[in-house]
Amino acid sequence: MGNCADCMRRVFCPPKNTNVRISLPAVCFVWQIAMIVLFGVFIRYDAESDIRLWLQLKHTNNITSDIDNDFYFRYPSFQDVHVMIFVGFGFLMTFLKRYSFGGVGFNFLIGAFGLQWALLMQGWFHALDPDTGKISIGIEGLINADFCVAASLIAYGALLGKVSPVQLMVVTLFGVTLFAVEEYIILDLLHCRDAGGSMVIHCFGGYYGLTISWILYRPKLNQSKRLQGSVYHSDVFAMIGTLFLWMFWPSFNSAITDHGSGQHRTAINTYIALASSVLTTVAISSASEKRGKLDMVHIQNATLAGGVAMGTAAEFMITPYGALIVGFCTGIISTFGYLFVSPFLEKYLKIQDTCGVHNLHALPGMLGGFIGAIVAAAATEEVYSREGLIETFDFEGEFADRTVGTQGGFQAAGVCVAIAFAVVGGAAVGLILRLPIWGDPADDNCFDDEVYWEVPEDDEGILPVLEYNNHMTHKRQDISESNFSVEQS
Enumerate residues 277-336 that contact a second copy by CB under 8 A. Answer: 277-280, 282-284, 286-287, 289-296, 299, 303, 317, 319-321, 324-325, 328
CA atoms of 332 and 277, how far apart (whole Å): 8
- CB crowding 310-325: b at 16 or more within 10 Å, else e: bbbbbbbbbeeebbbb
> Are the beta carbons of 276 and 324 closer than 8 angstroms?
yes
Cα 423 to Cα 183: distance, rounded to the nearest angstrom: 15
Q: Between 328 and 410, whose beta carbon lies closer to a second copy?
A: 328
Residues 96 and 233: their CA atoms lie apart, in Å, by: 10
CB 370 to a second copy: min, Å: 20
Q: Is 127 in the site for a second copy (CB under 8 A)?
A: no
Least distance (Å) from a second copy to the CB of residue 365? 21
- The alpha-carbon radius of gyration of the chain (Å, integer) is 24
| DSSP-derived 3-state class of residue 395 | coil
Q: Least distance in Å: CB of 214 to a second copy?
A: 27
Q: Does 405 bind a second copy (CB under 8 A)?
A: no
* Least gap, CB of 350 to a second copy (angstroms): 26
**Least gap, CB of 186 to a second copy (angstroms):** 23
Q: How far apart are CA 365 and CA 362, in angstroms?
A: 5
Beta partners for 136? 44
Identify the residue among 9, 109, 223, 443 touching a second copy (CB under 8 A).
Answer: 109
> Under the criterion CB under 8 A, does residue 347 sit at the interface with a second copy?
no
- Counting every residue written for the chain, the total comes to 489
Position 24 contacts a second copy (CB under 8 A) = yes
The burial class, CB within 10 Å (0-12 / 13-18 / 19+), for 192 is buried
Dist. CA 167–CA 369, nearest whole Å = 30
Residue 145 near residue 202, CB atoms below 8 Å: no
Per CB under 8 A, 36 contacts a second copy: yes
Q: Considering Cα of 124, then 126, then 130, then 134, what sign does the dihedral take? A: negative
Among 225, 233, 434, 474, binds a second copy (CB under 8 A): 233
Q: Which is nearer to a second copy, 33 or 349 (CB)?
A: 33
29 contacts a second copy (rule: CB under 8 A): yes
Q: Is 13 one of the binding residues for a second copy (CB under 8 A)? A: no
**What part of residues 239-268 is at the interface with a second copy (CB under 8 A)?**
239-240, 243-244, 246-248, 251, 258-265, 267-268
Should residue 391 be labelled a site residue for a second copy when binding is judged by CB under 8 A? Answer: yes
Shortest distance, position 297 Cβ to a second copy, whole Å: 9
Query: Hey, how many other C-beta atoms are within 10 angstroms of the C-beta on 58?
Result: 16
Rule CB under 8 A: choose which of 92, 138, 356, 370 binds a second copy. 138
DSSP 398-415: GGTT--HHHHHHHHHHHH
Q: CB nearer to a second copy: give 210 or 299.
A: 299
Least distance (Å) between residue 341 CB and a second copy: 19
- Number of residues engaging a second copy in binding (CB under 8 A): 163
Please give the residues from 62 up to 81 whose contact with a second copy meets the rule CB under 8 A. 65-69, 71-73, 75-77, 79-80
